[in-house]
Amino acid sequence: MSSNLFHSKKSTNTVVSDRAKLLEEISKVSNGEINTIEEDGFLDVELIQQINAMIYNLKSSGNNDVMRMNDLVEEATNNSVMKEMLETVLGQSNSIDGLKISSKELGDSISNISNAVENIKQFVDEAVVTSVDSAQNMTKSIEVVSQSTEEIRNINDMVHSFQSKTLKIHEIIDLVKKVAQQSNLLALNASIEAARAGEAGKGFAVVAGEVKVLSESTTESAADIMRYVKELQANTEELVETIHKTTQKLEDGNQIVERSVNSIQSLNTQMNTINDEIGSIYNFIQNQEVTANEFVTSIDTLSDSYDEMQNQCNNGGKYLFDIVRGTDKIRGNLVRNAMGFTTKEFLHVFEVDHMVFTWRLYNAINKYETLQMDVVNNHKDCKLGKWCNSIKDEKVLNHPSFLQMKKYHEELHAVAVRCLKEIENQNRVQAIKYYEEASATLQKLLQEIEKIKEIV
């Protein structure tokens, strides 16, 4: 009886002790720490084993849901539709901005051309007026030159007439000289006869002497007149030659001026044609300027519409990111609390982890979230890195794909670091290049993980 009593007390103490510890473990489960209970410290080990089996089955029963969640996140992050849409809209927006600048430059160029053509038109108008005035002035000059030529011809005729008269004077002077010579001979003969007559011929001798003096004087005067007439004839001949040359030059100049007038008139006709063409071009350019301004306005409106569409697409991308990121966080929590995963399932989780990792780079480029450098630059601390350091299976450790996987895993994080630096420097173009490089490295990493799945 005493032995039974001792056994009863011992059982009661065991139940009380296990109950307190079990309540503590149940409290942890109630607070979200759904982990198996350590058997050490419990007297009723069988009870704890049954509870752990229940916890294990409870947690492992949701593994299919966890993997479906894993596949859902994989599909969401691996879908490039949103990325392609955002990049297309951004590219089109940049093209529209470039088109906007080009259209503005086109409008300015057309405006400048319009102003230049207007100035040219004004210059041509002035040139036409000037050429018309020049043609009229040269026509008047031709008339003046023609009149001058005619007057010079008249003067030339008068000089020729005067030349003829000087010849007549020359003939008269010759006649006077002959008369004077005859008178001189006559006076000489009279003097001889008076000398023969003696006293009776004295009076006649005086008359003969006077006649001789008059004859000599007439001869001298005739000689002077003859000299003057010869000089006058020589000057007249020079004048005639000069007038002839002047008349010829005037006629030549008149012909040149007439040809110039014809050229100016022809030029004037061409200038009028050019002026008409420039007028047509000017009107066309003015119409083009109006059209270009309307085009610029349309491009501005289109640019504003694209900006609005880009904002809407960005908002849609941010909304999708928030949904997928929230789903991924739930996935992460489920994975951490899951039990009974196979190695292949864990490897698939690692694959999706790095799909999300690379996907978040692109979302960081679009400013949907801010990544921390210490998280990105730590390939050993992610789930895959920890698994690589914990693996003991020689078949896996020595497999070429395992070594390649570790290499690509490290490269992926290194490229992500470079991408994040460019994001921080707000260099989107270079960040996109590194993102593309990270995506290519991710594909290599996934291929090696798939090979490892075949040997585990």
pLDDT score recorded for residue 204: 64
**Same-domain check for residues 84 and 122:** no
**Same-domain check for residues 319 and 258:** no
**Same-domain check for residues 320 and 331:** yes
**Same-domain check for residues 91 and 117:** no
pTM above the 0.85 mark?
no
What integer is the mean pLDDT of 378-394?
92
pLDDT score recorded for residue 406: 96
pLDDT score recorded for residue 122: 78
Residue 279 one-letter amino acid = G
CATH assignment at residue 179: 1.10.287.950
Average per-residue pLDDT for the chain: 78
Residue 90 one-letter amino acid = L
**Same-domain check for residues 228 and 276:** yes
> Residue 9 pLDDT > 50, yes or no?
no
Question: What is the spatial distance between Cα 361 and Cα 372, in angstroms, rounded to a whole number?
Answer: 11
pLDDT score recorded for residue 1: 43
Phi/psi zone of residue 32: left (φ > 0), alpha (ψ -120 to 50 degrees), beta?
Answer: left
**Same-domain check for residues 224 and 131:** yes
- Percent of the chain exceeding pLDDT 70 equals 79
pLDDT digits 0-9 by tens, 334-385: 777 666 678 898 899 999 999 999 999 999 999 989 999 998 999 999 999 9
**Same-domain check for residues 165 and 283:** yes
Question: What is the spatial distance between Cα 106 and Cα 359, in angstroms, rounded to a whole number?
Answer: 41
> Residue 403 pLDDT > 80, yes or no?
yes
Question: What is the spatial distance between Cα 106 and Cα 98, in angstroms, rounded to a whole number?
Answer: 12
pLDDT score recorded for residue 56: 67
Per-range mean pLDDT, top range of 36-45, 61-70, 121-130, 301-310: 36-45
Of 304, 331, 360, the residue that ends a domain is 304
**221 or 343: which carries more pLDDT confidence?**
343
**Same-domain check for residues 367 and 438:** yes
3-state secondary structure (DSSP) of residue 117: helix
- Percent of the chain exceeding pLDDT 90 equals 22
**101 or 7: which carries more pLDDT confidence?**
101
Confidence of residue 426 (pLDDT cuts 50, 70, 90): very high
**Same-domain check for residues 250 and 130:** yes
Range of the domain at 3: 1-57
Residue 171 one-letter amino acid = E
Confidence of residue 47 (pLDDT cuts 50, 70, 90): confident
User: At a CB cut-off of 8 Å and minimum separation 6, what does 344 contact?
Assistant: 453, 456
Q: Name the residue among 405, 334, 454 with its Cα closest to residue 60.
A: 334
Of 274, 304, 334, the residue that ends a domain is 304
Question: What is the spatial distance between Cα 5 and Cα 10, in angstroms, rounded to a whole number?
Answer: 9
pLDDT score recorded for residue 57: 67
Q: Distances from the Cα of 384 to the Cαs of 65, 387, 390, 414, 434, in angstroms?
A: 21, 5, 10, 15, 22
**159 or 46: which carries more pLDDT confidence?**
46
**Same-domain check for residues 300 and 399:** no
Q: Is the dihedral of CA 102, 103, 108, 111 positive or negative?
A: positive
For residue 37, how many other CB atoms are within 10 A of its CB? 20
**Same-domain check for residues 387 and 278:** no
Q: How many domains does the chain have?
A: 3
CB 423 within 8 A of CB 310: no
What integer is the mean pLDDT of 172-191?
74
Of 253, 285, 304, the residue that ends a domain is 304
Tell me the backbone φ, ψ of residue 35, rounded to 5 degrees: -125, 160
**Same-domain check for residues 125 and 222:** yes
What integer is the mean pLDDT of 147-157?
73
Helical H runs in 31-80?
Answer: 45-60, 63-78
